[in-house]
Structure 1
Amino acid sequence: MRRLQLIPLLLLCGCMQIAPPPRAAWPSVVVGVDGLSDNLDAACVAEHRPGVDLFPHKTTFTHSVQLQVSYGPHYKRVRFTPSVGTGETLDYLLVQCGTPVPAHGPHEQVIQVPIQRLVTGNAAMLGALDELGLVDRLYGAENTRSATVPSVRERIAQGLVHDMWGYGHASIESVMAVQADVYLSFYSAYPQGNMHPRLWELGVRAIAQADHHETHPLGRAEWLKLLALLTNREALANARFDRIEAQYLRLAALAATAPDRPLVMAGFAAGRDTVETFGGRNQRARLIHDAGGRFALADDARSSSLVFERFEKVYARAADAPVWLGTLGGQASVATLVDANPLHGWFRAAREGRVFAWDQGYTGAWAYPFQDQGMTRPHVQLAEAIRALHPGLPLPPLVTDTPFLRRLP
């Protein structure tokens, strides 16, 4: 029986040969009774002093409906409560390295921080890694061919980022072989598609990543704070997020002054009868609202991406929408979008040529900046959405060299 139990694991680990990179221990720092002036983002504690606060810089989640954090003197407790109906709550205990692990529940995942190695099963985190100066800790991504972040592409070119070979759901054997401190596991609204339970069984510290299920674009942007919690870079994440939030709220207030709120279609026909879009509580629906539009499916109470099995249900609500904000990426024009599926041509926005896609800079399947740089730039997305819905509304200049939205010719 014991031999039979080992066979699947041997097969699992033998499919691919990935040599883990050499690991050097963090240096140890002596902390006095007065504590620290900055969090230790690349060091451990030499000698634990009970009660001394090791995290002078802390963070909190104000827009995310899925993440919570509380601090102890030498540890952090993070709770993830999915906004989709999977019925689970996941707890993570982040412990400053060099200090003892406090009492915790049997299902609470323990992670030593600051981490050194990270693998992500969701490209959305790549831009956030760059913004927090953490690209040097990236050792694996679900698809290295689709990365657009310059610093990430450079690291990939150096052969330092292993390809996990899986759009969102990377292969388990490659995740194990890299020996990362943390694997950010793409979180699906369908429990049977999630990898984290299996990874935990194999000893991989997997953290569910569900920024795409947030109900507000700023809640999605706050997922960069999760990276900060894992690396003790809360001060930098707070400063970055505060700027994002201020710009987003100013733009939303301006869009609220628009004289009308046009109806908006979003998504694409995925077959003869199905339409892929998102629920009315998803952060993309909120973006449309904050840009001064009315999402055609705003009354749908779900926060996830959706596949409607009946085309007529979406068509009845969005047929007369004058603007289509977000459709199938990589289409050269409205004509090719309609060629891809003639059902697209039934919508007013397609007939009148007001169709937009978040695929500026498209170079191939899943390879465009919106995918790996959009999470922490909701203010850029909002400005572009406002211009699409209200071209006459004067907007302040928004400095960015990475636009996301493209109007199909």
Structure 2
Amino acid sequence: MRHLLIFFSLITLFSCRETKKEASTSENTSEHIRYAKGFNIEYHENYKIVKVLQPWKGENKSINYVLYDNEKPENIEGIFIKTPIKSIVCLSLTHLAFIEKLNEVNSIKGIAGCNYVSSEVIKEKISTNVIQEVGQHEVFNYEILVNIAPDIVMAYGIDQSSTAKLNKFASLGLTTVLNAEYMELHPLGMAEWIKFVAAFYNKEQLADSIFKHIEAEYLNVKKTVADLKEQPTVFTGMPWNGAWHVPGGASFQAQFLKDAGANYIWSDNDEERSIVKSKEIIIDEALNADFWLNVNAFNSIEEIVAQDAVLANFAAVKNQQVYNNNLKVNAAMGNDYWESGVVNPHIILKDLIAIFHPTKIDHQLYYYKRLEKKSSSN
């Protein structure tokens, strides 16, 4: 799941817009994008074009969303949306984090997977039915969606099969906006998509300010371990049916580990998504690694070893250096790491540095927790 903006100097952009440029003149923000690779925004006098460059892996046809405040522009190809939007349905929990940061929770009218939500503010609105459940696991309640009649449905695409979902929404008169933040390869690139979301609310200046803070925090904490010569070795994941999926060396997860001053065992791999290895190969390559992270939903070393006794042979298990990103999980197993984490890469980075280099930072773990042997306390 790789999830996951564009960023521009908004003061300059809006001053340009206010000088009433010629209708044919545009301001493209691509040159201001620092990390995100998946979208850009082009500003014209009376409208803006938000372009998703690659809706999903393998789909190279971009999508244009033409956003306008008053008069609908003519002779332009794209999906037209009047802004600012007042209502939205979200099909991914990461969308909620962007919207909450922008102080637009009141616009959320429906969510796919309400029971997985972590945000207390949003859960309160779910409990009072202000926000409705629209379906889960790609099975939607179309009657509720039509009754809500949101200005947009913010969705995501996985592969070509996603077109069936988009076509169904279109046949019901629903305007779908694809958010591809999960495809970004840098944690800050994923967070930068807050500007993509902000464009639909005409809140680009706020988004720019929020992102600058996130970026500054991330880069500042990254500096604390930038010059370390000793880097602990790390591996991640758990076996499933004999296979072990680990992040590729060019993935956003690998970037996190690099920026946290760790030596990810498969950092030399250039795969952007996940790598599939056999359990035997993982054991051979990671047996002596210092740390083991992101072990599915497990909460103790006993649980891990109970699944497969051979996992007890890892040095990280013997030394109790196993950490999981499930400190904030609700009763339905909704994990806030995959919700608010998209707008908090600086906090995730602090967690990782506190794990790998505890003397370098004064920080209490927020998303991660250490898995201990319960028997060791007896």
TM-score in same-fold range (> 0.5):
yes
- Structure-1 separation of matches of 2:310 and 2:172: 45
Contact 2:55 2:157 in 1 (8 A): no
Within-5 A mapping of 1:209-228: 209-228=179-198
Superposition deviation, residue 365 in structure 1: 4.0
Q: TM-score, normalised by structure 2?
A: 0.84
Residue by residue over 1:323-367, the C-alpha shift from the partner in whole angstroms, topping out at 9 and shown as x without a partner, is: 1122212x2211112224445434332232111111112223432
Report the TM-score when normalising by structure 1.
0.78
Measured against aligned partners, the alpha-carbon deviations of 1:189-231 in whole angstroms (never above 9, x if no partner) come to: x432563354345432222222222110000101111110110
The 5 Å alignment of 1:33-44 reads: none
The correspondence for 1:86, drawn from 58, 72, 75, is: 58
CA distance in 2, matches of 1:95, 1:145: 32
Question: Does 1:71 find its partner at 2:43?
Answer: yes
Q: Aligned-pair distance for 1:232?
A: 0.4
For residue 145 of structure 1, report the CA deviation from its aligned partner: 1.2
Q: Relative to total residues, which structure has the larger helix share, 1 or 2? A: 2
Unaligned segments of structure 2, at least 5 residues:
1-13, 373-378
Query: Which of 265, 273, 296 is equivalent to 1:328?
Result: 296
Q: What's 2:352 paired with?
A: 385
Q: CA deviation at 1:148?
A: 1.5
CA RMSD of superposed structures (Å): 3.0
**1:233-281 deviation digits (Å, cap 9, x = unpaired):** 011111110010001011112111223122211122222x112332222
Out of 343, 362, 367, the position equivalent to 1:404 is 367
For residues 294 and 159 of structure 1, do their structure 2 counterparts lie closer, same or farther at Cα, with a shift above 3 Å needed? same
Work out which structure has the larger RCO, using CA pairs closer than 8 Å and 6 or more positions apart in sequence: 2
Is residue 2:327 matched to residue 1:360?
A: yes
- Aligned partners of 1:315, 1:73: CA distance in 2, in Å? 59
User: 2 CA distance for matches of 1:138 and 1:84?
Assistant: 24
1:310 aligns with one of 247, 272, 278: 278
Q: Is the 8 A contact 1:125 1:375 kept in 2?
A: no
Letter in 1 for 2:291: V
With over 3 angstroms needed to count, the CA separation of the structure-2 counterparts of 1:224 and 1:385, relative to structure 1, is same
| Equivalent pair of 2:194/2:207 in contact (CA under 8 Å) | yes
Q: Secondary structure at the match of 2:358?
A: coil
CA deviation map 1:95-134 (0-9, x unaligned): 22321223223xx322221111111111112222111101
Residue 62 in structure 1 maps to residue 30 in structure 2: no
- For 1:65 and 1:318, the matched residues in 2 are separated by 32
How many pairs align?
A: 354
Give the Å deviation of 1:381.
Answer: 0.4
Whole-angstrom distance in 1 between the partners of 2:248 and 2:56: 11
- 2:342 is paired with a residue whose SS is coil
Q: Does 1:257 align with 2:220?
A: no
**Partners in 2 of 1:180 and 1:299 — Cα distance?**
45
Using the aligned pairs only, state the percent identity: 20
How far apart are residue 80 of structure 1 and its match?
1.8
Cα 1:84–1:180, aligned 2, differ >3 Å: closer, same or farther? closer
Out of 254, 260, 284, the residue aligned to residue 291 of structure 1 is 260
